[in-house]
């Protein structure tokens, strides 16, 4: 999922998307769009997983203070360290607004995902109590209503053919990057946990559904030019269903791997480092600026090069995140020793 996030940034910020649109054949564009539309799930999948594992928790707001701090402190660390260290090493020149903004990563929305994730985390004790109190029938009704309102309504309102009778004005954010979209996925994850039992064997039909939804989504782009702009939005109904298919498939895939868990533990750090707006500009416009140029795509090996770029960004940011974790652990150990020393002599 995190490698897909980086790939999406290669497409959107690195210029892959625009280069393909301007310069390549119909078949090349078709292959690109199918891969791109099959990679639109990661943001919502992370929240879907969050809801799946958190909905049955009976912790109160005070009971999750540690988790809130564990999420916010890395945000504050990267929000402060990245801009000012970059200034020291001459990577960029901060203005006053950027400097002040660095002290408020939550409210300034430096990372929209982290801000929304924290908001859902803060609301989760209250949401969990409401969801677990619902019967399966009531929960199903809620899920159907929210799905129709927050995905289908949003999509239809952006089509010229239906926009005159279905409107988003002052109601919804069209691209799904808002609190209601994250709450929808949290609620859907909770529904799968509470009311859809696991299977004894992995069901590959979910992968077939996933691929089928990708193809249908792309075919609609070919049938309606106006639909293309909404085909890749997070809350597109086909993408939301793709997210559900992925979770349904992988939750029944029984395996254990300490290595995968260790690698996955750096995900949020990888996201925050490479998606910080100063790093993002430097990354895709300077260090990998060649992604904007057509000659890069002439070689038949360019897909492998893009994969290597994604892996390189992940590894580099992952190493930085592990260093940050060790630094925090060092401060934590030092703090405990100082506290124990004070208690000993008080």
The rounded distance, in Å, linking the Cα atoms of 84 and 182 is: 31
Compute φ and ψ for 248, nearest 5 degrees: -65, -35
Structure confidence at residue 140 (pLDDT)? 97
Compute φ and ψ for 171, nearest 5 degrees: -120, -60
- 56 in the same domain as 33: no
- 154 in the same domain as 82: yes
Compute φ and ψ for 198, nearest 5 degrees: -70, 155
Helix-helix angle 302-345:65-88, to 10 degrees: 110
The rounded distance, in Å, linking the Cα atoms of 52 and 187 is: 8
Structure confidence at residue 339 (pLDDT)? 80
The rounded distance, in Å, linking the Cα atoms of 183 and 119 is: 9
Structure confidence at residue 346 (pLDDT)? 67
Structure confidence at residue 289 (pLDDT)? 94
The rounded distance, in Å, linking the Cα atoms of 332 and 346 is: 21
Q: Which of 237, 254, 271 is the last residue of a domain?
A: 254
Residue 63 CB neighbour total at 10 angstroms? 11
- 127 in the same domain as 64: yes
Residues of the chain scoring pLDDT < 70: 170, 346
The answer to whether residue 326 sits within a structural domain is no
**pLDDT tens digit sequence for 160-191:** 888 889 888 767 777 778 899 999 999 999 99
The answer to whether residue 345 sits within a structural domain is no
- 289 in the same domain as 181: no
The rounded distance, in Å, linking the Cα atoms of 117 and 68 is: 10
- 70 in the same domain as 84: yes
Structure confidence at residue 213 (pLDDT)? 97
Domains: count for the chain: 2
Residue 97 CB neighbour total at 10 angstroms? 9
Alpha-carbon distances, residue 286 vs 78, 103, 281, 289 (angstroms): 21, 26, 7, 5
| Angle at CA of residue 141, ends 138 and 147, nearest 5° | 140
The answer to whether residue 328 sits within a structural domain is no
Look at phi and psi of residue 15 and say left if phi exceeds 0, alpha if psi is from -120 to 50, else beta.
left
The rounded distance, in Å, linking the Cα atoms of 176 and 153 is: 12
3-state secondary structure of 319: helix
Compute φ and ψ for 344, nearest 5 degrees: -65, -35
Find the DSSP H helices in 13-109.
Answer: 16-23, 26-37, 42-54, 65-88, 96-101
Do 234 and 12 form a contact (C-beta atoms < 8 A)?
Answer: no
Range of the domain at 51: 42-254
Give the pTM: 0.93
Of 209, 224, 86, the closest CA to residue 156 belongs to 224
Do 137 and 218 form a contact (C-beta atoms < 8 A)?
Answer: no
120 Cβ neighbours under 8 A, 6+ residues apart: 47, 50, 127, 179, 182, 183, 186
212 Cβ neighbours under 8 A, 6+ residues apart: none
- 69 in the same domain as 212: yes
- 229 in the same domain as 115: yes
What letter would DSSP give residue 197? P
Q: Which of 220, 254, 288 is the last residue of a domain?
A: 254
- 275 in the same domain as 178: no
């Amino acid at each position: 999922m995190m490698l897909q996030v980086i790939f999406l940034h290669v497409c959107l910020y690195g210029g892959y998307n625009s280069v393909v649109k301007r310069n390549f054949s119909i078949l090349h564009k078709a292959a690109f769009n199918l891969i791109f539309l099959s990679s639109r799930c990661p943001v919502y999948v992370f929240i879907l997983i969050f809801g799946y594992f958190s909905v049955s928790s009976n912790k109160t707001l005070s009971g999750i203070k540690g988790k809130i701090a564990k999420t916010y402190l890395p945000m504050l660390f990267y929000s402060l360290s990245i801009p000012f260290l970059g200034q020291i090493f001459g990577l960029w020149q901060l203005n006053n607004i950027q400097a002040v903004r660095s002290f408020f990563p939550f409210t300034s929305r430096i990372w929209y995902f982290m801000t929304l994730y924290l908001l859902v985390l803060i609301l989760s004790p209250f949401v969990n109590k409401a969801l677990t109190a619902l019967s399966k029938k009531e929960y199903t009704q809620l899920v159907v209503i929210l799905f129709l309102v927050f995905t289908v309504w949003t999509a239809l309102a952006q089509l010229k053919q239906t926009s005159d009778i279905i409107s988003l004005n002052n109601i919804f954010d069209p691209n799904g990057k808002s609190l209601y979209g994250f709450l929808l996925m949290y609620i859907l994850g909770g529904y799968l946990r509470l009311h859809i039992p696991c299977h004894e064997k992995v069901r590959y039909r979910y992968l077939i559904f996933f691929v089928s939804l990708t193809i249908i989504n792309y075919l609609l782009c070919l049938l309606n030019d106006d639909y293309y702009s909404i085909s890749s939005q997070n809350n597109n109904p086909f993408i939301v269903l793709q997210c559900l298919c992925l979770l349904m498939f992988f939750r029944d895939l029984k395996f254990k791997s300490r290595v995968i868990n260790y690698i996955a533990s750096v995900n949020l750090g990888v996201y925050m480092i490479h998606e910080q707006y100063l790093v993002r500009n430097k990354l895709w416009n300077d260090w990998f600026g060649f992604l904007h140029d057509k000659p890069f795509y002439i070689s038949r090996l360019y897909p492998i090069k893009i994969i290597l770029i994604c892996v390189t960004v992940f590894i580099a940011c992952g190493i930085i995140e592990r260093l940050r974790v060790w630094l925090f652990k060092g401060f934590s150990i030092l703090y405990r020793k100082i506290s124990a020393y004070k208690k000993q002599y008080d």
